[in-house]
């Protein structure tokens, strides 16, 4: 601090003036670094790791029979909270690779690129808001990278996939989180051949940043076929079968004693300053085990099998015959092509791609999900930085390509996404797998996997929990330490921020209420020995008072209701929901949810049938949404309460069977609204029965099984009305 700054701060203090936030870094300078990224809203690393809420993972359904060992995980919820829960599992020894190594071996993330920003106002306002939006995205990503770092195994790796708009910021954040010394590669993925931009160069690539947890990391070198021009230049000879080959030198620089320097077939390597150095690829040429033969023995074997070309003149150097088919090809570099550049104008200047890399997402693997990445891309990532039995995590799972490829390559996998469309897309892909990369070849039955909820829970299943399971769930919901103790004859269950916690046993005392008299009774038994705070966790309807806490004799008794959005005093942030998109452009928006809530089935009224709209040749089936209202408990000043305002999308399985929803089509609320709140689809697509899933913007679902008879046959104009009032079914929570 300069003398001038000291005098100014003294003046401000003496005159009682407010000190602006710009003084923070002067008064309390951060740890000195060569450089660091500074921006609005950046939190301390320690605070992020400590304060992130770990929410319980509630199993919804397991696909396939599960044993006692590892099973793959598909999680619907906020990835930050989910990763904090996974971190707790790692610390407890429950998150291990097949070789027993704790943590996740490989993380691949393809986060939203934060490119959909629309602002109004002056140019200065727009520039400022753009910067704020950029800072929010950077911090959004940084928080998740911190959790990823902690989740990784000691020799683990992370690939972060971004485009040009935010890649440069992300690189600095990655340097800060993982250490610049652990940066391994920026991989350039050419994801299209051309992009017409009249005003500048076409943007045809994206970047993948590869960082590792430590200097010791798992990496398996991968290869691609040799470049066509390289083959033409070096493999100039052809055998009687038409196969290309080249000659390879069996000697190396320097003189050696023993067999390595001995004369063979008239050639004395020491006379030219060389020695016999037979290359390792010879083992790919032979059918016998010649590893135990000496140098001369190997040379004799190769000669007898026609694999060495002897010199025509005595004293000339022999040459090993090396077919083009032998060897792994060329090691992969950091420039990955979109497709073989052996077509049209690019012939001869590019690379050939190995057959297991399908760069363009073809019809065989296309899901229609926005920003889907091809299986070939993830195949190269997963093969390079993991082994069979390792855990592969994708925290922005999207269409599920990472999970699909990990399954095919024998890895364990965890996929997390906050979008219902993503979850149902992944579920469909996993249940319709093909063995080969690119989703080709014979059908592949996946290993068992379980779908979990994280942050949005099914109340009906919680009611069925035993008391011990309920107690554990309640403690986890509020981030309490499970540690039973006794004060004044009262059995308490744990601690929250140093204060005691009581989980009320509503099963043991059905119908008993918690009122102010109950709190007074507790206070008489506990008194000041409990400290200044006591937290009481109980079902919401058990409490007979509305306030969040009540004070008695210097002790504050907090009421933690289930369901209840985490109160501000405990977590400094109010609960935000997992907002679902209402149009396709919003599918990959950044979404962040803090806290938890319970599933509340929306109120739904609809009619369905078949009609022929004016101007169309063929009749269409339709579902007309008459009423759709949500009851989600969200502290949102902009909360939507009107009819159909909370609808996000409608998903259809045209031929529902076997109790498994197999997604066939998705219709977004924006388009449904423009169509008069009708979902329209071809009559011929309807099977025996349709499952329609109506999803609100908070992630809640209303499911309707609609028979073909309800819809009617082609050419009819009948309509069937169905009304479901889900208030009783949803309830008000526990």
Task: Indicate whether 199 and 67 sit together in one domain.
Answer: yes
Confidence tier at 314 by pLDDT (50, 70, 90)? confident
- State the pLDDT at residue 25: 65
For residue 163, tell me if it sits in a domain: yes
The last residue of a domain, from among 414, 430, 454: 454
- State the pLDDT at residue 176: 94
Task: Indicate whether 485 and 371 sit together in one domain.
Answer: no
For residue 332, tell me if it sits in a domain: no
- What is the C-alpha to C-alpha distance for residues 91 and 102, in angstroms, rounded to an integer? 8
- Interval 271-306: pLDDT, tens: 989 999 988 888 888 888 888 899 999 999 999 988
For residue 248, tell me if it sits in a domain: yes
For residue 507, tell me if it sits in a domain: yes
> Does position 725 have pLDDT exceeding 60, yes or no?
no
Provide the β-strand partners of residue 543. Answer: 514
For residue 24, tell me if it sits in a domain: yes
- What is the C-alpha to C-alpha distance for residues 455 and 53, in angstroms, rounded to an integer? 10
Q: Of 207, 36, 37, give the one whose Cα is nearest residue 138.
A: 37
- Interval 533-570: pLDDT, tens: 999 998 887 888 888 899 998 999 999 887 654 433 33
Task: Indicate whether 71 and 196 sit together in one domain.
Answer: yes
- Interval 460-487: pLDDT, tens: 777 667 788 788 888 887 878 889 999 9
- State the pLDDT at residue 582: 80
> Does position 345 have pLDDT exceeding 70, yes or no?
no
Give the residue numbers spanning the domain of 546.
460-571
For residue 396, tell me if it sits in a domain: yes
As for how many domains the chain has, the answer is 5
Task: Indicate whether 675 and 701 sit together in one domain.
Answer: yes
For residue 286, tell me if it sits in a domain: yes
Task: Indicate whether 99 and 215 sit together in one domain.
Answer: yes
- What is the C-alpha to C-alpha distance for residues 108 and 395, in angstroms, rounded to an integer? 8
Q: What stretches of 445-588 adopt beta strand conformation (E)? A: 449-454, 456-457, 481-487, 490-496, 499-503, 533-539, 549-552, 555-562
Hey, what are 125's tokens? Answer: 């306002």
- State the pLDDT at residue 658: 79
- State the pLDDT at residue 452: 93
- State the pLDDT at residue 196: 73
- What is the C-alpha to C-alpha distance for residues 422 and 639, in angstroms, rounded to an integer? 24
- Interval 57-74: pLDDT, tens: 888 899 987 666 788 999
Task: Indicate whether 82 and 179 sit together in one domain.
Answer: yes
- Interval 642-696: pLDDT, tens: 789 999 999 999 999 878 899 999 999 999 999 999 999 999 999 999 999 999 9
Could you give the residue ranges of the DSSP H alpha helices within 61-158?
79-91, 123-151
- What is the C-alpha to C-alpha distance for residues 577 and 76, in angstroms, rounded to an integer? 12
CATH number of the domain encompassing residue 358: 3.40.50.150
Task: Indicate whether 142 and 103 sit together in one domain.
Answer: yes
For residue 580, tell me if it sits in a domain: no
- Interval 33-49: pLDDT, tens: 566 778 888 888 998 99
- State the pLDDT at residue 724: 59
pLDDT > 70: percent of the chain: 83
- Interval 479-525: pLDDT, tens: 788 899 999 889 999 998 889 999 998 888 777 889 889 999 999 99
> Does position 117 have pLDDT exceeding 60, yes or no?
no
Is 324 in contact with 235 (CB distance < 8 Å)? yes
* Mean pLDDT, the chain, integer: 82
Could you give the residue ranges of the DSSP H alpha helices within 346-443?
375-385, 401-408, 420-430
Task: Indicate whether 436 and 483 sit together in one domain.
Answer: no
Averaged pLDDT, 219-231:
82
Task: Indicate whether 93 and 182 sit together in one domain.
Answer: yes
> At 434, is the secondary structure helix, strand, or coil?
strand
Q: What is the Cβ-side half-sphere exposure of residue 346, based on CA atoms within 13 angstroms?
A: 13
Task: Indicate whether 407 and 274 sit together in one domain.
Answer: no
The last residue of a domain, from among 254, 288, 323: 323
Confidence tier at 32 by pLDDT (50, 70, 90)? low
Task: Indicate whether 620 and 700 sit together in one domain.
Answer: yes
- What is the C-alpha to C-alpha distance for residues 333 and 497, in angstroms, rounded to an integer? 50
- State the pLDDT at residue 338: 56
Q: What angle do CA 534, 539, 545 make, to 5 degrees?
A: 65
- State the pLDDT at residue 379: 93
Helices (H) and strands (E) in the chain, counts: 18, 36
Q: Which of 196-205, 353-362, 386-395, 716-725 has the lowest mean pLDDT?
A: 353-362
Q: What is the Cβ-side half-sphere exposure of residue 589, based on CA atoms within 13 angstroms?
A: 17
- What is the C-alpha to C-alpha distance for residues 163 and 204, in angstroms, rounded to an integer? 10
Q: What is the Cβ-side half-sphere exposure of residue 201, based on CA atoms within 13 angstroms?
A: 4
- Interval 351-396: pLDDT, tens: 333 333 444 445 578 888 878 899 989 999 999 999 999 999 999 9
What's the DSSP call for residue 18? P
Cis before 213 (ω within 30): no
- State the pLDDT at residue 210: 98
- State the pLDDT at residue 12: 81
Q: What stretches of 283-400 adopt beta strand conformation (E)? A: 308-309, 319-323, 330-331, 335-336, 391-394
Task: Indicate whether 214 and 236 sit together in one domain.
Answer: no
Give the Cβ contact number of residue 244 at 10 Å: 16
- State the pLDDT at residue 563: 65
In the block, tokens 């610390």 appear at: 91
Is 159 in contact with 183 (CB distance < 8 Å)? no
- State the pLDDT at residue 481: 86
- State the pLDDT at residue 54: 82
Alpha carbon separation from 358 to 341, 346, 487 (Å, rounded): 13, 18, 65
């Amino acid at each position: 601090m300069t003398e001038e700054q000291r005098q100014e701060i003294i003046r401000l203090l003496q005159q009682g003036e407010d000190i602006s936030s710009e003084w923070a870094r002067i008064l309390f300078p951060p740890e000195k670094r060569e450089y660091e990224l500074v921006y609005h809203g950046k939190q301390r690393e320690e605070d992020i790791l400590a304060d992130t809420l770990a929410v319980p993972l509630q199993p919804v359904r397991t696909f396939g029979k599960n044993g006692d060992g590892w099973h793959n995980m598909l999680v619907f919820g906020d990835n930050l909270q989910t990763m904090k829960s996974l971190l707790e599992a790692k610390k407890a020894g429950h998150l291990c690779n097949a070789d027993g190594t704790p943590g996740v071996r490989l993380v691949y993330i393809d986060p939203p690129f934060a490119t959909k920003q629309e602002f109004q106002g002056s140019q200065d306002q727009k520039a400022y808001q753009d910067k704020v939006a950029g800072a929010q995205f950077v911090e959004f990503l940084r928080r998740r990278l911190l959790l990823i770092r902690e989740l990784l195994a000691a020799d683990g790796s992370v690939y972060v996939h971004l485009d040009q708009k935010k890649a440069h910021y992300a690189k600095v954040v990655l340097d800060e989180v993982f250490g610049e010394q652990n940066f391994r590669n920026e991989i350039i993925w050419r994801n299209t051949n051309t992009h017409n931009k009249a005003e500048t160069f076409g943007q045809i690539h994206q970047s993948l940043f590869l960082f590792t947890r430590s200097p010791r990391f798992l990496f398996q070198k991968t290869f691609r076929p040799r470049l066509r021009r390289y083959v033409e230049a070096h493999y100039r000879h052809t055998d009687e079968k038409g196969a290309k080959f080249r000659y390879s030198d069996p000697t190396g620089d320097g003189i050696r004693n023993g067999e390595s320097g001995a004369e063979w077939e008239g050639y004395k390597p020491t006379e030219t300053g060389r020695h016999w150095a037979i290359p390792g690829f010879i083992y790919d040429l032979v059918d016998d085990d010649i590893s135990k033969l000496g140098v001369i023995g190997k040379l004799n074997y190769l000669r007898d099998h026609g694999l060495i070309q002897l010199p025509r003149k005595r004293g000339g150097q022999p040459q090993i015959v090396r077919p083009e088919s032998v060897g792994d090809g060329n090691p992969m570099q950091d420039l990955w092509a979109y497709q073989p550049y052996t077509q049209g104008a690019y012939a001869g200047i590019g690379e050939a791609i190995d057959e297991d890399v399908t760069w363009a997402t073809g019809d065989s693997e296309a899901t229609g999900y926005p920003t889907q990445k091809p299986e070939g891309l993830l195949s190269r990532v997963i093969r390079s930085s993991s082994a069979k039995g390792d855990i592969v995590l994708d925290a922005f799972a999207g269409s599920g390509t990472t999970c699909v490829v990990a399954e095919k390559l024998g890895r364990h996998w965890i996929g997390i996404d906050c979008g219902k469309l993503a979850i149902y897309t992944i579920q469909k892909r996993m249940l319709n797998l093909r063995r080969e990369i690119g989703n080709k070849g014979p059908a592949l039955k996946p290993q068992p996997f379980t779908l979990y909820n994280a942050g949005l829970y099914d109340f009906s299943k919680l009611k069925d929990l035993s008391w011990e399971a309920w107690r554990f769930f309640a403690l986890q919901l509020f981030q309490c330490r499970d540690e039973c103790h006794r004060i004044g004859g009262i059995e308490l269950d744990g601690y929250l921020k140093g204060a005691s916690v009581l989980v009320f046993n509503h099963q043991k005392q059905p119908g008993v209420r918690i009122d102010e008299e109950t709190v007074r009774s507790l206070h008489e038994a506990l008194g000041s020995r409990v400290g200044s705070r006591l937290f009481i966790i109980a079902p919401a309807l058990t409490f007979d008072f509305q306030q969040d806490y009540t004070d008695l004799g210097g002790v504050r008794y907090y009421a933690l209701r289930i369901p209840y959005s985490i109160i501000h005093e405990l977590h400094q942030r109010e609960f935000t929901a997992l907002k679902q998109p209402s149009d396709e452009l919003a599918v990959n928006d950044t979404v962040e949810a803090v806290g938890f809530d319970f599933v509340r089935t929306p109120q739904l009224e609809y009619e369905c049938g078949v009609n022929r709209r004016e101007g169309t040749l063929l009749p269409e089936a339709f579902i007309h949404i008459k009423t759709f209202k949500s009851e989600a408990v969200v502290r949102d000043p902009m909360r939507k309460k009107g009819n159909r305002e909370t609808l996000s999308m409608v998903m259809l399985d045209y031929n529902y069977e076997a109790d498994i929803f197999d997604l066939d089509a998705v219709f977004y609320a924006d388009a449904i609204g423009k169509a008069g709140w009708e979902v329209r689809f071809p009559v011929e697509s309807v099977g025996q029965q349709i499952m329609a899933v109506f999803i609100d913007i908070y992630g809640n679902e209303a499911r309707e099984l609609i028979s073909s008879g309800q819809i009617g046959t082609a050419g009819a104009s009948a309509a069937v009305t169905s009304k479901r009032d889900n208030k009783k079914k949803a309830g008000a929570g526990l």
